[in-house]
Amino acid sequence: DADVTQTPRNRITKTGKRIMLECSQTKGHDRMYWYRQDPGLGLRLIYYSFDVKDINKGEISDGYSVSRQAQAKFSLSLESAIPNQTALYFCATSEMGGKAFFGQGTRLTVV
């Protein structure tokens, strides 16, 4: 089993729908992250969490929210999806020294 698991792997949704992307990890790390990747723009940080009670906005948090349900689970929600949120989304965990482990990504298409 993968250390960091994202579900779903692919999703097509309609404009205005609420959607949740889920992430779970077996690494035992406190730190978890959500990134968005668009061609030519690298990985942009949406939200990050250093423990269950600590949630922080990243570079591009507008239009997104997160929930840290447990140390192992970190979910990303799009409250009202719009087409420009079509992207590849990655969840990651990291050790205290920054070494990160990524999920395999969720490809989201908003039509």
CB of 14 to other proteins, least distance (A): 24
Nearer to other proteins, 34 or 110 (CB): 34
Residue 108 sits at the vertex; the CA angle it makes with 104 and 111, to the nearest 5 degrees, is 165
DSSP string, the chain: --SEEEE-SEEEE-TT--EEEEEEESS--SEEEEEEE-TTS-EEEEEEEEETTEEEE-TT-TTEEEEEEETTEEEEEESS--GGG-EEEEEEEE-TT--EEE---EEEEE-
Rule CB under 8 A: which residues touch other proteins?
Answer: 4, 31, 33, 35, 40-43, 45, 48, 56, 58-59, 90, 92, 94, 97-105
**Which amino acid is present at 50?**
F
Nearer to other proteins, 35 or 74 (CB): 35
CB of 47 to other proteins, least distance (A): 10
Nearer to other proteins, 15 or 52 (CB): 52
CB of 28 to other proteins, least distance (A): 17
Nearer to other proteins, 53 or 99 (CB): 99
CB of 44 to other proteins, least distance (A): 8
